[in-house]
Structure 1
Amino acid sequence: MIEPVLERWDTDPDTGSLRQDLLTLTLMMRDSTALPEGRALTAVATAGELRDLLRRTTERAIAPFHRAFDRAVARGEISAVADAYMMAHVIFHGVVGWEPRHGALPTDEECARMVSVVLGGRQGESHPR
């Protein structure tokens, strides 16, 4: 049932920019969360006997974020980021946990803000507080 949603994570967007790769992935995550299959995965999170499925699904969905960081390092866009795993994790759970807290999925602008916050002003961008 969830395989069609997971197949989205097998192909990486490669826009040539870490910020745009992360934003594209964040929007994909948001759109996947809106699907019935994505909603089913959210329900799985509360079922203890299905935690292994949730762990494997999460790893597969986060993997393209890791690859986006790797490509950015290879392009020389950023230096190696020790916290790349944590940054990917924060974006993933920021999107997945948004709706229960705010009553709606994050907008494109909110997804872009998540990416900006996670990048912490990298690439010369300043962020208002």
Structure 2
Amino acid sequence: MTGPPRRDAGRPRGATVVSAVLAAVRAELAETGFEGLSVERVARRAEVNKTSVYRRWPTREALVAAAMEGLLEEFGDSPDTGSLRGDLLALAAPIADLAARPDGVALLRAALATTARGDLGGAALQRAGDGHSASSLAERARARGEWRPGVDPQQAIFTLVGAIIHRTLLEQAGPTGEWLEGLVDIVHRGIRADP
């Protein structure tokens, strides 16, 4: 039986295979959702042997977590815009962009489905408001005198992330620019230092 040549045939396994598999996971999730996600179909779409997939990611939950991690790594640290409001908007905008994409919606749904069972998707979902980004944003704002004492940076960021997820998954509406700016304004008013 012949089929398409495997990406991992005749060359070292590495970033190319990982990239192909994670792209296949996102595409499969967008088509089938988490419940329909099949490691065999992911391997076929990525043109790799399914044992290569199982070796790195032994469960569907691990695949979802890796796919989410891959997207979240693109965000990096929130840039220093010179103002707390600007920093909050710069942090929230890529998350809103992700939530507006079909593969982003599929990943969010899958991460939430796996989180409900206590699996790996929750760890990846938490990266969207990880402590490093939140604390560096807060440190900059404190240095400028903009951060109100006693406000937990991670809680503030989770407020943003949670509202974006709510808007996308429960309201089934896009986190548009105007809506996102309104959300950032609400969070900003709640955490900024009194003038």
Q: Please classify the TM superposition score into its range, dividing by the shorter chain length.
A: 0.7 to 0.9
- Separation in structure 1 between the aligned mates of residue 143 and residue 76 of structure 2, nearest angstrom: 20
- Separation in structure 2 between the aligned mates of residue 74 and residue 42 of structure 1, nearest angstrom: 34
* Equivalent residue, structure 2, for 1:73: 142
**2:140 counterpart SS class:** helix
1:9 partnered with 2:75? yes
* Equivalent residue, structure 2, for 1:108: 177
TM-score, length of structure 1 as denominator length: 0.77
TM-score, length of structure 2 as denominator length: 0.54
- How far residue 124 of structure 1 moved from its aligned partner, in angstroms, is 6.8
Matching of residues 33-44 of structure 1 within 5 Å: 33-44=99-110
Q: Which has the higher helix share?
A: 1
Count of aligned positions: 125
Q: Are 2:138 and 2:153, in contact at CA under 8 Å, matched by a contact in 1?
A: yes
RCO (CA 8 Å, sep 6+): is it higher in 1 or 2?
Answer: 1
- Separation in structure 2 between the aligned mates of residue 70 and residue 62 of structure 1, nearest angstrom: 15
Rg larger in structure:
2
Q: Kindly, what percent of the aligned residue pairs are identical?
A: 31
Gaps of 5+ in 1: none
Q: Are 2:114 and 2:121, in contact at CA under 8 Å, matched by a contact in 1?
A: no
Gaps of 5+ in 2: 1-21, 23-66
- Separation in structure 2 between the aligned mates of residue 95 and residue 72 of structure 1, nearest angstrom: 22
- Separation in structure 2 between the aligned mates of residue 7 and residue 98 of structure 1, nearest angstrom: 23
Aligned to 2:129, which of 43, 47, 62? 62
